[in-house]
Structure 1
């Protein structure tokens, strides 16, 4: 019995139909295309909380795009397995000509794609990957000598100099051509993959001109809540980076800079994968962290006695989001005031942040700790009290997320001047040790 010849489009971090590079290419193939999504057992198995808002986000986003596929006479086929196992199953059922997907750059994804790609090649099946989640990939913005940039400002300058209109031109997706016609019975529920519903409600991400046009003016004030909240959409690809960059070029240079920071950290992770577990600057591995577990718990729970730090941690714990200015303050506080290893804080953020992305989370934590590629100098230590006066003078943000702060009688976990001097001493000793 002859098996039907098809191509496969594999959804990963590109959960949208609009401007999806590899999907648009797949639908130009001369055989029907089956879109699939794999709830990867390996990834999901690492998540301890079964009410994970990120899994719920993915699930709801897939429901959103599945509606369009069904209207076009097809649908996404879902699997809860390991990717290689899925493709072995599909090739038993179909004569698979080509597998299409958009590239991912995190270490786990690179390893996964290498394994799948090598197996497909052995079966004489094409494996076509396309650039989609970035404007420029890891090798496209380099110094004149061919080495990667490790400082943001010259990288950003070169990024802008290199940009042409074709780099942010959209791909048109037409579901009316070459979509495999079949009728999916149902989409697996969260319970089917071992998770539970959360209070998260997915909405199609949009570019809000009221926020983006004044982004540079208001982004540092957490009570105003005037940041784009598009981090999670970019993380899972429910919005196109090309759409964002095109808008930023027309409307706001400051927001464009944030989008470039995202790609800067991605290329750092690609070229220097050791940063996942180690300081970008090796000399900072000599820091003697205090790593007091009780103090770490108080930081996690928002009980440090510093209102802005505690409000930020409580916002994170409750919502999976924290305002970016406050992220810098709480990260600096953990690493400098408490002298707790940045890796502890990074891991805690990774558990809870809806917009968690390895490259940005790692890069920003190392920036705050002073040990990263483009880090704040180690002697730059945020004063959380002064940050509060500057960015939440009327205590609106603090009262929203830490309403009982005025009634608490507990003293701050550590006095600022003492903590600052202690951090400077410990950091200096680590660098002196390296020089010896």
Structure 2
């Protein structure tokens, strides 16, 4: 009686409900299917991460006498073949929440149930599933604060599922060689910075969280907005690929909650987990936000298409040091500090008037933590078109933001080395310094005051 476990973004052994409950029934056939025709394909940085995460998972499963069967193509056809080859009677998977995945999984579930197979699905990635948190009128939330107040009250004190003993099935079932999947970049291989910064896989995730608890949690609330402080967890890609359980994170924060030195940081960190949950809640109930504005009036917003300005932003050549530092950090490491993400997004959508979708597309391709819900909701929040969005008139000034959150210019110097010799005041306004001291750094592509007024006038035109 073999149970097939279909892994997706749950690439871990600890607290993996589908794997745990399948293993308790008997032999398991564990598979990962690369669906290259999915509605929202992975960007280059995510493909790099997936390759290494699957390699790590393969190793861990083999240590426990279990194989990871890799296949590429249409999931329904592949699953049909595996069911027949291995004598599968039950299929388990952990749920996904993107609109296309919900529709696909529903079709697959119905198909196998019609064949007489048992199909069981589980929650492995959220504290509360999107349909579980409702207003008093039974509607989805549109504002974070009341959502999180209600969601927090519903979080059950469930324990973390242990790594189950595994008995592998289908040992002769063919598996593809991941090297043939082409997940890694070639010609050129631009992933050196990613490899230097990250250790994909469950062990890398658990080690990173351990270090955060030991070394950074206490200062998180006070330093999280300062990109040079290295006070954040950097768990987002591990969470996206399911290499660590959000339930595990939540529970392991509990002992620190009562500590005077860390209580505020625990509350703040948990609220960031709440924003992750809220983004998924929004995408589930309002699936159009992946492509269209949450607020319909923004359909008429007079965006401007300018490929040259977009490329300058992508390449970190805007002439505004904090913006350029963030974009270069993203390109080299697949990551960007959250405070800086808001600043670069505001600059693109408000100072350059380029549609938020263009920024979201670039982030999807370059971020190792590219997540459809978080990416869409985050960009719309900054652009002013989203749920509980920042007021449109809140336009981040990259100069004053740099002076406030990178006052000595440490972050800028790291990622914009041509400005490294400027002092703390000069580095935020390099256009005021002699050209020979700025190493060819470009002049600003727009005037901040003028572009701010233009953005406010554009917003006024749709009100």
TM-score, with structure 2 as normaliser: 0.86
Alignment correspondent of 2:384: 370
SS of aligned partner of 1:372: coil
Q: Which residue of 2 aligns with 1:223?
A: 228
Deviation at 1:403? 1.2
Q: Which runs of 5+ in 2 are unaligned?
A: 186-190, 257-265, 420-437
2:60 counterpart residue number = 68
Partner of 1:155: 147
8 A contact 1:73–1:181 mirrored in 2: no
Partner of 2:97: 105
Structure 2 CA distance for aligned equivalents of residues 202 and 64 of structure 1: 9
- The 2-side partners of 1:187 and 1:93 are apart by 15
Shift of 1:319: 1.3
Contact kept in structure 2, 1:69 and 1:76, CA below 8 Å = yes
Match of 2:162 in 1: 172
Which is further off, 181-190 or 126-135?
A: 181-190
Q: Could you tell me whether the CA contact under 8 Å between 2:224 and 2:232 is conserved in 1?
A: yes
Matches within 5 A, 1:5-404: 5-29=1-25, 31-43=26-38, 46=41, 52-166=44-158, 169-176=159-166, 178-180=167-169, 182=171, 188-190=177-179, 192-196=180-184, 198-199=191-192, 200=195, 202-203=199-200, 204-206=204-206, 207=209, 208-209=212-213, 210-251=215-256, 252-404=266-418
Shift in Å, 1:185: 8.4
Q: What's the CA shift for 1:409?
A: 5.7
Distance 2:137 2:7 in 1: 36
Deviations along 1:102-137, one digit per CA (max 9) or x if unpaired, are 000011211221221122122111111001100100
Partner secondary structure for residue 128 of structure 1:
strand
- Displacement after TM superposition at 1:228 (Å): 0.6
Q: Judge conservation of contact 2:86–2:170 (CA < 8 Å) in 1.
A: no
1:434 is matched with which residue? none
Deviations 1:226-271 (A, max 9, x none): 2111000000000111111123344311100000100001010000
- Displacement of 1:78 in angstroms is 1.0
**Farther off after superposition, 358-367 or 287-296:** 287-296
Residues in 2 aligned to 1:96 and 1:184: alpha-carbon distance in whole angstroms: 12
Segment of structure 1 superposing worse, 368-377 or 92-101: 92-101
What is the deviation of 1:46? 4.4
CA distance in 1, matches of 2:361, 2:330: 13
Distance in 2 of aligned mates of 1:183 and 1:226: 47
Equivalent residue of 2:183, what SS? coil
Deviations 1:404-431 (A, max 9, x none): 1433363211111111111111101111
Partner Cα separation in structure 2 for residue 98 and residue 185 of structure 1:
20
Corresponding residue SS for 1:15? coil
Is contact 1:321-1:354 (8 Å) kept? yes
Deviations 1:74-115 (A, max 9, x none): 211111222111112113313221100100001121122122
Q: Distance in 1 between matches of 2:354 and 2:58?
A: 45
Secondary structure of the residue that 2:303 maps to in structure 1? coil
Structure 1 residues 187 and 213, CA gap change in structure 2 (3 angstroms): farther
Q: What RMSD in Å do the two structures reach over aligned CA positions?
A: 1.9
CA contact (8 A) 1:9 1:23 kept: yes
Aligned counterparts of 1:185 and 1:38: Cα–Cα separation in 2: 13
Q: SS of the residue aligned with 2:228?
A: helix
Q: Distance in 2 between matches of 1:85 and 1:45?
A: 20
Distance in 1 of aligned mates of 2:318 and 2:66: 53
Unaligned runs of 5+ in 1: 432-436
Distance across 2 between alignment mates of 1:140 and 1:119: 26
For residue 140 of structure 1, report the CA deviation from its aligned partner: 0.9
Native 8 Å contact 1:70 1:183 kept in 2: no
Find the aligned partners of 2:39 and 2:102 in 1 and give their Cα distance: 17
Task: Give the length in aligned residue pairs.
Answer: 419
Partner Cα distance (1:68, 1:365) in 2: 36
Aligned to 2:430: none
* Correspondence for 1:428: 460
Structure 1 CA distance for aligned equivalents of residues 140 and 40 of structure 2: 34
